Structure 1
Amino acid sequence: MPAETGKTERRSLQFELAIQYGCMLLWVTLSAAVILINKYVLSFSGFPYPIALTCSHMLFCSGAAAVLVKMGTPGWFEVTPISNETYVKGIIPIGVLFAGTLWAGNAAYLYLSVSFIQMLKASMPVVVFLVGVMFGTENLTLITALNMIVVGTGIAIASYGEILFVPIGVVLQVVSICTESIRLTLVQILLQRRGIKMSPISTLYHIAPCCFVFLALPFTYIEIPRMLRDSRLHVNLPLLLLSAFTAFALNIAVFLLIGKTSALTMNVAGVCKDWLLILLSVLLYGSPVTKTQLWGYGLAFLGVCVYNYRKVQAQVKDKQESVQLELKPKQLEAQDGRR
């Protein structure tokens, strides 16, 4: 019996890992699509307004989540009720940080190439790790710290080799990385630590309207006056709808992935997406990439891969130890019965 139980638990672990990697693949695909579409909208379609673009995303996400909730399908589309205290302490900070991430991140596409932005984004595991240590969601160890140093060194080399280095674009991307790292950690705490069980739709249902409100303020006072004076403004509604729909699907995938794994694991998986986007950026938009950048990013990629491998090994070990602890009382009972 113990051997059969062990095999069952191993199959269960393999199934869980398959789900996690499936969520990672879905997130990588949707994230790459959103980035490429947004770059085209902001840089090539005659619509250089990042706040307006992100406002449309959050408005679409809010409406789509509300419609799905009204459909009343049990389980997936149910809304988890939350208290006013949880909304103030949990949802509003996430909404504010999400608005900052979207605003700064999309604005960076006006100044930097997709390939360089993705290289900068590879530093996300370092920032998420530091934020996770501060919030107690990650444990600081020497080996992990060394991994993060390797990643940071690679990003520094890649930045040094960038041809089109625009300081304001780099600052915007750094702000986006910092706000996103804190946001992802807070989402993890909301979903896992506080014992709040929310489906991806329910999470987006609560957070998207809050994010839209905080984006609507700068949109009203900063971009609307500029748009009214812009004689070259071109609004491609089908393209904006495609961008909004892809962003909605991506947000669902983000919350699903964080609920199944962790914020840091999501960013580790993002390194594979970054390689894909660098290649697509060169092929589609002609973004310049130097050998120095590739060497630097390759070093960062190696550091993240080592971290990801150690993370999976630790997860397998913890699961095996949990199985052994569950089996031990049963084994003792069986021994007592034979006596």
Structure 2
Amino acid sequence: MRSLFTIGLISAWYSSNIGVLLLNKFLLSNYGFKYPIFLTLCHMLACSLLSYIAIEWLKIAPLQRVRSRLQLLKISALGIIFCLSVVGGNISLRYLPVSFNQAVGATTPFFTAVFAVVMTAKREGWVTYVTLIPVVAGVIIASGGEPLFHLFGFIMCIGATAARALKSVLQGILLSSEGEKLNSMNLLMYMAPIAVLVLFPAAIYMEEGVIGITVALARDDWKFLLYLLFNSALAYFVNLANFLVTKHTSPLTLQVKLLGTGKCKRGGGRGYIDHDIQNPVSVTGMLGYSLTVAGVVLYTEAKKRNM
């Protein structure tokens, strides 16, 4: 029964992710709306509001109070780290091709494994760690064979990747720690407003004129506002499902599942900046990408055998 529940969670998570991605592409194609940071800001506003309604009005989950300053600090760190992953990922896409950005993102399980050991002392079997070697080696090879390599973009991409991994581990702690445990809905309700406070100035600075453009699009076509609201509401279910999957599996397994679906558009629509989707890929780069994918497959098989 527990396995069926977990499969259902993952299926719901995949489905809602696909829905958000399709809506993101629709907004880009039909309205030219290429503002991923502002879109993520809308997502977090929806998460704040819908979580509050679900807890306070609908009583779907009991309200849990923040118990200590340390717990509040961890929740704040989670929100800030999430924002750093979004902003860093978008900055990196200005300098790096999408294909290379995805290859670097494939090292997320490696960083997750490192942070899990450092922060929780939780260790996987040695075979699991061995399977992560080709994942990292593939990125190193791809870096050497990338004709459009940019050092600053690479640093930002690695930083965003590490931030995603740290977020997964930290949310796992907040969802399962006996002394500081929060259910998924409460954690999202507390984390989302903090993310809004960080994302708002980032959107204003990095996506100049986005508020005026959004208002103008809404005035010209009221359906745009409807699509934006539905997109934000669906993103709430994506984030909620993300927390639930983390709780019922593990942060490391979560990140490899993400890679397995080819989901490197994290952060609520980073795929908007796919202006260089037709960038040339060298033979060395293809070798690196293939090695990375092989590592993900090996990891999945290792986890199956250890279950």
Q: TM-score, normalised by structure 2?
A: 0.78
The answer for the alignment partner of 1:215 in structure 2 is 199
2:250 alignment counterpart: 262
Q: 1:26 maps to what in 2?
A: 12
Aligned position for 2:139: 155
- 1:182 pairs with one of 155, 166, 185: 166
Judge conservation of contact 1:65–1:202 (CA < 8 Å) in 2.
yes
Q: Which has the larger radius of gyration?
A: 1
Task: Report deviation, 1:215.
Answer: 1.9
SS at 1:240 equivalent: helix
Q: Structure 1 residue 143: deviation in Å? A: 3.3
Which letter does structure 2 place at the counterpart of 1:266?
L
| Aligned twin of 2:295 | 303
Quick one: distance in 2 between partners of 1:112 and 1:45? 25
Deviates more, 1:53-62 or 1:260-269: 53-62
Alignment partner of 1:67 is 2:67: no
1:118-157 alignment runs, 5 A limit: 118-139=102-123, 142-157=126-141
CA positional deviation for 1:311: 2.6
Structure 2: how far apart are the matches of 1:224 and 1:298?
35
Once the two structures are superposed, residues 73-116 of structure 1 have per-residue CA deviations (whole angstroms, 9 ceiling, x without a partner) of 3xx43322221424423211111111212222344445555444
Alignment of 1:231-250 (within 5 A): 236-250=224-238
**Paired residue for 1:274, among 252, 262, 271?**
262
Q: What does residue 277 of structure 2 align with?
A: 287
Question: For the aligned residues, what is the CA RMSD?
Answer: 3.5
Kept after mapping to 1: 8 A contact 2:71/2:180 = no
- SS for the counterpart of 1:274 is coil
Superposition deviation, residue 287 in structure 1: 2.9
Q: Deviations over 1:212-265 (max 9, x none)?
A: 112224345x247654898xx866434433432332121011101011011111
C-alpha deviations, 1:118-160, integer Å up to 9, x for none? 3222111011111111113432665333222211012233344
Q: Is 1:105–1:173's contact at 8 Å kept on the other side of the alignment?
A: yes
The residue number in structure 2 matching 1:334 is none
Which segments of 5 or more consecutive residues in structure 1 lack a partner in the other structure?
1-14, 317-339
Question: Which secondary structure state, in structure 1, belongs to the residue aligned with residue 182 of structure 2?
Answer: coil
Report deviation, 1:68. 1.7
Question: What is the rounded CA distance, in whole Å, between the counterparts of 2:28 and 2:156 in structure 1?
Answer: 15
Query: Aligned pair 1:313/2:297, yes or no?
Result: no
2:101 to 101, 110, 117: 117
For 2:268, the equivalent position in structure 1 comes to none
The answer to whether 1:252 aligns with 2:227 is no
Kept in 2: contact 1:58–1:209 (CA 8 A): yes
Counterpart residue identity of residue 203, structure 1? L
Letter paired with 2:257:
A
The 1:310–1:104 alpha-carbon spacing in structure 2 relative to 1, beyond 3 Å, is same
- The structural deviation recorded for 1:42 is 6.6
* Separation (CA, whole Å) in 2 of partners of 1:245 and 1:114: 27
Contact 2:98 2:276 in 1 (8 A): no
Runs (5+) with no aligned partner, structure 2 = 219-223, 266-270
CA distance in 2, matches of 1:309, 1:82: 39
Alignment CA distance shift 1:185-1:156 (3 Å): same
CA 1:204–1:267: 2 relative to 1, 3 Å: same
What is the TM-score normalised by the length of structure 1? Answer: 0.72
Q: Secondary structure in 2 aligned to 1:82? A: coil
Pick one of 15, 40, 63 that aligns with 1:79.
Answer: 63
SS in structure 2 at match of 1:146: helix
> When the two structures are aligned, how many residues end up with a matched partner?
292
